[in-house]
Amino acid sequence: MARVVIVGSGLMGTAMAWPLLDNGHSVAIVGTHLDDWIIDSLLANRYHPTLMRKVPPKATFHYIHELPSVIKDADIVVNGVSSFGIHWIADTLSVHLSKGQQVVSLTKGLLSDEQGRVVYFPDYIHDKLSPSVREGSAVVAVGGPCIAGELAARRETCVMFGSRDRAAAKRCAALFGTSYYHVFPTDDVMTLELGVALKNAYTVAVGIAYGMHTPDEAEMGMHNTAAALFAQGCHEMGYIIKKLGGDERQSSALPGAGDLFVTSAGGRTMTLGRLLGEGRSYVQAKEELEGVTLESVQIIHEMATVLEGTWIGEYSIDTGHLPLLRTLVDVIVHNKPVEFRYESFFTAH
């Protein structure tokens, strides 16, 4: 039995409590500065207001000020913050973690450095840890098609745990995996991280397809267009993964097609896409979404930096193979109207 502390009481962080508690581990959930209202509710009656259900018995709930004391005894610390909290969580873990504590990170996304080089979240977190903690440890990143609420409903779910230390990935897979939460360990962190980040970008394109719908006498939809953009998204993910040194075949598995499928099933990124497909500019769409910046938008910005950076030469990326990503950058970063160049899709690479 492990002592697990989950930092971040949002949807995904909290949902991880289900498989962990089912496996008999002790679970302490610590809210961030933004989560006091969630912790209030959890302490009152275990009810999570956005998951819309009660966390199973035995989990404990804590406000952010309790973090230092709660984290001290943890065997495993789960990073459950969103990508906008990546700097905060890295700084926090760098202060509070001690040697031998294993980090499992749920945050999806990526960063770019000044040369336009991709920085993967697990590496970013790892590099900030204090030297004594960093040594001999590796962050385990979680990715794959998993809607938090469905995990909390114990729906059959398949995900990957990736770490540069394969043994750590396997150990955590064994601790977290249940009869409904199927964990596939890998040491190919790069491929996993690229897939689960990039799929957010390409989901915008699928959403745009549905937004482009016009009334039709036979009530026909937009699935052909959505499927073409879905496929081009997978195709481009494969190209980027290959060029950055990963396993492009994963673009048809959990981190690619699988994760893109689940994100395309609904949510705020699809809503953004629909608004763009209906003809709004990104600036207009953002206003309608009440100014909230989405993870997908952040990833498109990071990829714009990568595509425009000096490192692109080292990666030997030919942006001619990425017409869809270039359109997404034009739309989101440069506020241009949507214009897909279908004829330039599906290049052989």
Provide the 8-state DSSP code for 256. Answer: I
CB of 245 to its own copies, least distance (A): 17
- The yes-or-no answer on residue 336 being catalytic is no
Q: Is 252 in the site for its own copies (CB under 8 A)?
A: yes
- How crowded is the C-beta side of 315, counted as CA atoms within 13 Å? 22
Beta bridge partners of 61: 29
Which residue in 63, 84, 184, 315 binds its own copies (CB under 8 A)? Answer: 184
Which residue in 1, 44, 52, 292 binds its own copies (CB under 8 A)? Answer: 52
- Which window, 19-27, 260-268, 275-283, 284-292, contacts its own copies (CB under 8 A)? 260-268
CB of 344 to its own copies, least distance (A): 10
CB of 247 to its own copies, least distance (A): 9
3-state secondary structure of 171: helix
Q: Is 201 in the site for its own copies (CB under 8 A)?
A: no
44: CB partners within 8 A, 6+ apart: none
Whichever of 226 and 303 has its CB closer to its own copies, that residue is 226
Q: Is 231 in the site for its own copies (CB under 8 A)?
A: yes
Whichever of 124 and 340 has its CB closer to its own copies, that residue is 340
Query: What does each C-alpha distance from 199 to 1, 221, 223, 232 come to in angstroms?
Result: 34, 23, 18, 11
Q: Is 16 in the site for its own copies (CB under 8 A)?
A: no
Q: Is 143 in the site for its own copies (CB under 8 A)?
A: no
- Which window, 26-34, 58-66, 226-234, 281-289, contacts its own copies (CB under 8 A)? 226-234
312: CB partners within 8 A, 6+ apart: 116, 306, 319
- Contacts of its own copies in 263-292 (CB under 8 A): 264-266
Q: Which of 108, 128, 199, 243 is catalytic?
A: 199
- Which window, 73-81, 84-92, 140-148, 274-282, contacts its own copies (CB under 8 A)? 140-148
Beta strand 157-162 with 53-54 is unpaired
Query: DSSP 3-state helix, strand, coil percentages of the chain (rounded to 5)?
Result: 50, 15, 35
Q: Provide the Cα torsion 199, 201, 205, 210; round to 10°.
A: 70
Burial environment of residue 216 by CB neighbours within 10 A (0 to 12, 13 to 18, 19 or more): exposed
Q: Is 346 in the site for its own copies (CB under 8 A)?
A: yes
3-state secondary structure of 184: strand
Q: Is 19 in the site for its own copies (CB under 8 A)?
A: no
Q: Is 22 in the site for its own copies (CB under 8 A)?
A: no
Which residue in 2, 34, 64, 253 binds its own copies (CB under 8 A)? Answer: 253
Count of residues making up the chain: 349
Which residue in 25, 128, 171, 235 binds its own copies (CB under 8 A)? Answer: 235
Beta strand 110-112 with 60-62 is unpaired
What distance in Å separates the CA atoms of residue 173 and residue 175, rounded to the nearest whole number? 6
E strand or H helix that includes residue 193: helix 189-211
Which residue in 74, 89, 151, 244 binds its own copies (CB under 8 A)? Answer: 151
Q: Is 169 in the site for its own copies (CB under 8 A)?
A: no
CB of 58 to its own copies, least distance (A): 20
Query: What does each C-alpha distance from 70 to 61, 64, 175, 305, 348 come to in angstroms?
Result: 10, 10, 20, 38, 53
Give the footprint of its own copies on this chain (CB under 8 A): 51-53, 145-147, 149-153, 155-158, 182, 184, 209, 212, 216-228, 230-232, 234-235, 237-238, 248-249, 251-254, 256-259, 261-262, 264-266, 340, 342-343, 345-346
Catalytic residues, by residue number, are 199
